[in-house]
Amino acid sequence: MTDRPLQGKAALVTGASRGIGKGIALSFAEAGADLLLSARSMDDLQRTADECAAFGVRAEAIHMDAYDLDQVNAAVDAVTERFGKIDVLVNNAGGSRNVDGGWVGFMESTPTILRELFELNVYSPYFAAQRAAKAMIEQGHGCIVNISSPLAEYPSARIQPYSVAKIAIQEFTKLWAEELGRHGIRVNAIAPGPIQSAQIDKVIAANPAREQAMIDEVPLGRIGQPADVGAAAVFLASDHAEWISGAAILVAGGKRW
């Protein structure tokens, strides 16, 4: 792989203020991509953009609330407006921890929890991809990378609504790949395992013994880093993956769930 496999490409990374999204953004910048980064936390997002710009690429920040489809559409449109095209969309904004009570099973779920989890993890990436695909069809090329979860392959009864939301986006990945392939558009998903984050840091701070327990659950013997997901995203967005579409790559150190 060349040192700058994304040189000349323009990408939108959603949820890029911290964690996995920031890791993907930094990996894309190092690989040479010009970036539009979106999130709700503008202070953190601007810091990410500044760190990306240090790699000699254009990196701009735009506010986007993933629950607001008008803002989602505006963020996608802004990539073409600022860079003249959109080569890559990374649908990273999502999760469950930021939904109050989102880490629940069937009997604990409420209409609010179910609605918010699906709005964040299905509706938002669905319509971001739809908006990006319209521009990519006109270009005759493009790449969409959805951030899924191992729970899409190995759903948990203890975390049902979130598991099913990630199953949905992973299945949409396959369907979009089939529908958009004739336009030169590839669609893939990444399912990250346990990745170092503020949430994991809080868990470990509250119970230091939990860190080793988490490591022991991973066959490769460590907690993942955001850059691990970033490396996979760079590969999928690059021309080296030009024959890969409709795939879901588990980036979890061998851990299933």
Could you give the CA distance from residue 150 to residue 192 in angstroms, rounded to a whole number?
A: 7
Catalytic residue selected from 67, 123, 126, 162? 162
Could you give the CA distance from residue 98 to residue 77 in angstroms, rounded to a whole number?
A: 26
Q: Residue 60: which H helix or E strand, with range?
A: strand 59-63
Q: Measuring CA to CA, how many Å separate 88 from each of 107, 144, 182, 236?
A: 39, 6, 17, 10
154 is catalytic: no
Q: Residue 206: which H helix or E strand, with range?
A: helix 198-206
Give the residue among 51, 250, 239 at the shortest CA–CA distance from 166: 250
Q: What share of the chain is helix, strand, coil (3-state, %, to 5)?
A: 50, 15, 35
Q: Which position has the token pair 């649908």? A: 91
Buried b (16+ CB within 10 A) or exposed e, 53-86: eebebebbbbebebeebebbbbbbbbbbeebebb
Let me know: does 68 contact 106? Beta carbons within 8 Å.
Answer: no
Residues noted as catalytic: 162
